[in-house]
Structure formats: C-alpha cells, structure tokens
Chains A and B, each alone.
Chain A
C-alpha cells in the first residue's frame, strides 16, 4: 500500500513538474506568480460555472423543474470526465516517460496499475472540483437542502468519475495489449484513439440532431431534455443512480447501487488489469528495427525551408500526443461548434434566422474575425514550437541557418493548420448567409494575415517561456502555463476586433475593410521586423 502511495506521488510530481523547483529567488517568485495565475484562472472558471448553474437552476425553478438540473449537470460532468479520460488515459498508463524509470524497480504490476489509476482519478477530481462541486452546492442552497444532501452529493461526486475511468482505461489496456501484436504499433494506437474521439463526436451529433431543442414549447423541450438524459443514462451505468441519490436524499438505495457498481467495476478492472497491463506496458516500449537496403529514391535533396517545414510536420504527426493535442483540436473544435448548425431540421431554421443578420457589415466582419481568433487559440502548434523539441531545442543554434529563417519555418505548420478552422468557418458562412464570393475572398485573406500574426506571437511566447525539461510530451501541451497566454492573446484580439467593429459601425463596409487590411498589414510587418531584428535575443533561453 505504501509503495502505491509513493509511486502515485512520484507520478503526480513528474506529470505536473513539481520536482524541478529552482532555488533561485527570481525564479521562485516567477513560480509563485504562476501559481497565483493558476489560482485566478481556476477561480474565474469556478465563478463562471457557478453563475451559469445558478441561472439555469433559477430558470428551471420558475417552471418547478429544478430537479432537471441535476440530470443535465451530472450528464455534462460525466461527458467531460469521459472525454478528458479518453485524451489522457493512454498517455498516463503507457506513454509517460516516468514508467520507464520505475520499470526496473522491484514493483508488482498491481502496484504500478493502482498508482497510475490514482493519478488519473486525482486529475479527474481536479476537474470535478473546478466544474462540479460548486454548482451542486448552489443547487443545495437554492433548494434549501439539509446536511445529508451535501454529504451524499460529496460521496456521489467522489464515486461518479470512477466507473467511466475504469471502463475507458480497460478499453485502452485491451487495445494496447493487442497493439503489441500489430506491426505499425504507434499508428495503430493513434488510429484507435482517433476512432474513440470520432465516436464521441458522432454521439454528440446524434444527440444534438435528435434533441429538437428548437421546439417552441419550453415545457416540451424540458421533457425532451429529460428524455435525453434518461436515454444517455442507459449508456452510462452510474448516471441514473447518481441523479436519484442526489434528488432523493431520503432514499439510500440509489447511493448503494452507485457504490455497488463502482465496487464491481473496480474488481473487474483489477482482475483484468493485473493480467494485461504490465505486459502491455513492456510491449509498448521500443519498436523493432526493419532491416532493408537503401535505394536511390531514399536519397532526396530539398530546399532548406521546405526540408525544415517537412521535418516539423513529421515530428508533429508521428507523435500521437502532439497529433492529438496540437493538430486534432484544429479539426475537431470547429466541427463540434458548428455541428448544431448543420443538424438535420435545424439547418433551414438557422438559415432563415441568419438571413435576418447582415454578415457583410462592419460588425459582421468583426464577429467573424473574433470567432477566428477564438478558433486559432485552440491551435497549440506555434506556442509549443520550441518546447516540443525539449532537449533537442538547442539544435536550432547548431545549424548554419539564420534564427529568423528558422522562426518562420517553425510557424508555418501552425499557419497551415489554421487554414482548417478558417475554411470550415468560411464554408459555414457561405452556407448560412447570402454572401458574395468577393466577401469570402476578403475574409479568407484576413484570416491568413491574422494567422501569421497569431503564430508569430505564439512562438514568441514559447521562446520567452520555453518548457524544455519535461518528463512526458503530454506536459508540453497540457501542463503548460503558456496556454493561458494564448487565451489572453486571443481575448485581447477579440476585444480589439469588436471595438473596431463597434467604432466603425457607421462607416461604409469597403472603407472598413480597407482600414482592417491596413491594421493587419501593419501589425504583420511590425511583427516580422521585430523578430528579424531581435532574432539573437529571442533565442537566448535556448541553450
């Protein structure tokens, strides 16, 4: 038991990089500042979710339907936890570098399995704390619940993530055990991961298109939503008992059911996990050498820039963690956000409503650029452009290629990937609004200009605060404070776009477009001049 706890602490430290404390005063201060920053961000998220929950509960209460909140809320929480687990289980259990360090130690497979499970559960509890705890308490406060409610809610929240975590991890373990038999192991694992994610999106699409949320009668909608919760509840074993345990605090059977489900799942998990996890871990490490003679076509000569950019892309695509965290969101997020607009019957309704809004106006253009700014903030390629290389980052200083040129080569993959959300948004605009081709072309050119500016400054952030000593590639993307700056940058850009749009509301659109072109071109020229001039200083932290 003691070993499991020690291992859990080590894994938690390595995944959150607590172990690299610097005794230097200024960097200690920076660490404190970073912790305060995290604290503010967490408080901000808690505040937003608490406020939204309060609004929703009050609205439902007006119709005497406040219990519906518990269903919707727990379902959302469960989905969030499940998606998060899909993204992180394979990494925590198989790809994390810390596993390699503990494999030679005299540790039983079950101890490693349970320590890894603890890490996953603790990280999901953190998410629950941010998104789950306060809305449930607010519900209790509004409905005037007694102390028993709070105790039961806490127990439910503690138990709720466990079954989905155990189930998803079991699926991952089976896949990994099986993938050892496959020749192209890593590609297979990536493919399976993608399949799971696509399935999750498919489900989302299914529910948004059959939920009929556009129904006029609010009570009917509520019944539908309730029906939807019930429906999905059939797929999530723990959802119904969790809901009933919270709603009917005088009944203990749902809570006992929840405990029983969790216990049974745990026993199954331990039984199967103990048999297959260790073998999967050992099998997943190292790939076999393929002996073959080189042919003439294997020797290729390319232009420096092209060769560099191809290398960047190969390293991004071949690393499953980087692919899933850096490239995939650029595809997924716009699809997830825009799917509801394309759902079966809703499409026509939305087109009718869209017809009432003139997108080819100053405000319309500002809103489109704001959406683009938000979508670009989900592209983590430029902001991890240096950190992804880790110890290899100093390579940029070894080769006879100017640092300015390398700066540009490093942002090109980000600019390319930004094309995807741009094209999806523009396609949607073309589908929903009666707009001219000229308008579409202008918006597209704006997105390209903005994409360059965005990527230049994201790489700048990474160069200012590179994260080069990491234990797992996952830490580069997920446990990286720099992402906060990406969101802040995006937020500032949105504010600027909306402000300009608002100030120019009375101006002719053509003049507005000229003003925007001028602003974006100047911003890009300035950014380019800045990095060219400061290239030596910018790469100072890479050594």
Chain B
C-alpha cells in the first residue's frame, strides 16, 4: 500500500511543483497517474521512491516512512525509472546480479526468477552482452526484470511502456494484472491514455502540481461531456484548470 499525505514540493520559491497531494493506493489496485508534461508526475514518483525529499507531508510504503526508514521502505518497492539507460557498460546478467545483491536475493531464487522473466521477455540469450549493445526496449526489459527480482509488494513505474514492442508491452501489462491480483500495488505514470483506460482500477490526473481528479474510469466519464473519448476528457480537464 502507498499512502501520500499532504505532500508538497517546490523547486523554485513560491512555485509548487506538487501541491498538497493526498493519495492512497490500496493493495490489489492498479493506479494510473496521468498528466501533461511538467505536471508533477515524475516529481511525485521521485518523492515516493526516496530520490527527492518532500518539503511538507509524508509518504508511507506499507506503513514505512520513506524519509524516516528509507532502507526498510525501499525494500518494499520495485521501481522502473523513466530512462532505462542504467550502467550500460555492465552486461545484462552483471546488472541483474548486482541488483539482486543490493536486495540480498539468495542465489537459487535469483537464478530461477531471472531465467523465468528473461524467457518471458525473450532476452534469455542476450544477458551476456553489454547493455550498451541493447536497444531501448531491451534495456527497458532488463530494468523491469531487475525490479521484480526481490518480489516487491509495491511496483512503481515511470512511463514503463516506452520503447517496448507490442508483445513485451502486453507481457508487462499481464504481469501488472497478476501482481495486483495477488493483493499487491501497482502505481504507474503514463501518457498512453488507452493503457490507463484498459488496465487501471483507478486513475489520478495531476495538472500544475494539483491532483484534479482521482477515481475510476466510469467516474471520470461522468465528470465531462457525454460521449467524449478518454483523450477528449483528459484535454477538457487539463484545459479547464
């Protein structure tokens, strides 16, 4: 479970990038976080994962405060950042072993999980190559696999579908559904509105640092003109503000 209580953040004095954000993502839920560029999505994700400190408020991951108990809180999350270009001079398997070491995943478990996931994403024969030689999508797959190695309860993904081929994108969506079904949490940001529509139990729309909508897709439809597409709904909401 992810709990965000009265969280605010400013980079420049007097201009809040995230303003008094309150949000609870319950176990068993897939939550889509939407918003135009520069709305505050990445800032929010950075605060949830402990990269940025909020100016006000608190963030709890399975009840653990990310600021006060950073190591314990981080163990409960798996994070896919917006850029998959991580330590490209390592080979895929070196990177996965390194991440497994950081999360203290036992040898047998990591072997089993890497083999299973690499096969699912069809990169089982590429793990020995330097990540420099990978395409954007392959790097994204490695990052996704690395996120899953310690079997975290809370998944946090920043634009996770970017660069993935349709099959891998489908696989990831399947994984997200399976994960939520096991009473876990998935929180992800996206620009692809259709993905949010089809995958999410609830969506949140952030605009200029303020959460302007939280609810199900059905609730979102009731807030705007009848017969509007999701794209039109999104534009209407973010332009009205």
Contact = CB atoms under 8 A, between A and B. Distances in A.
A314 B102 contact: no
A116 to B, nearest CB: 22
A397 B50 contact: yes
Interface stretch (A8-16, A141-149, A245-253, A287-295): A287-295
Contacts of B134: 289
Interface string A371-407: 0000000000000000000011011011111100000
Contacts of B53: 536, 540
Contacts, number: 114
Most chain A C-beta atoms within 10 Å of own C-beta, residue among B46, B101, B110, B133: B101
Contacts of A287: 129-130, 132-133
A183 interface: no
Contacts of A394: 46, 51, 81
A23 B155 CA distance: 37
B220 interface: no
B107 A291 contact: no
B195 interface: no
A35 interface: no
Interface residues of B, number: 48
Interface stretch (B85-93, B178-186, B204-212): B85-93
Interface in B97-137: 97-107, 110-111, 114-115, 118, 124-130, 132-134
Given A301-B110, A314-B90, A398 B49 contact: yes
B70 to A, nearest CB: 8
B83 interface: yes
Interface string A274-297: 000000000000111111111010
A315 interface: yes
Most chain A C-beta atoms within 10 Å of own C-beta, residue among B49, B51, B125, B134: B51
Given A301-B110, A307-B102, A391-B83, A314 B128 contact: no
Contact of B52 (A292, A301, A314, A543): A543
Contacts of A291: 125-126, 129
A21 interface: no
Contacts of B93: 294, 298-299
A315 B87 contact: yes
A291 B177 CA distance: 31
Contacts of B197: none
Chain A, interface size category, equals 35 or more
A300 B111 CA distance: 9
B86 A392 contact: yes
B71 interface: yes
Contacts of A536: 53
A299 B97 contact: yes
Contact of B128 (A288, A292, A402, A543): A292
Nearest to A392: B86
A294 B50 contact: no
Given A286-B133, A291-B126, A392-B85, A399 B90 contact: no
B90 A289 contact: no
Contacts of B128: 290, 292, 294, 298
Nearest to A302: B101
B140 to A, nearest CB: 15
Given A391-B83, A392-B87, A301 B133 contact: no
A303 interface: yes
Contacts of B89: 314-315, 318-319
B72 interface: yes
Given A307-B97, A311-B87, A289 B129 contact: yes
Interface of A: 24, 286-294, 296, 298-304, 307-308, 311, 314-315, 318-319, 391-392, 394-395, 397-402, 536, 540, 542-543
Interface of B: 12, 46, 49-53, 70-72, 74-75, 79, 81, 83, 85-87, 89-90, 93-94, 97-107, 110-111, 114-115, 118, 124-130, 132-134
11 contacts: A289-B129, A290-B129, A290-B133, A294-B115, A299-B97, A303-B101, A308-B101, A311-B87, A314-B90, A399-B103, A400-B75
Given A301-B100, A400-B74, 17 more contacts: A24-B12, A291-B125, A292-B128, A294-B124, A298-B97, A299-B111, A304-B101, A308-B102, A311-B87, A314-B89, A394-B51, A398-B74, A398-B81, A400-B71, A402-B71, A536-B53, A543-B52
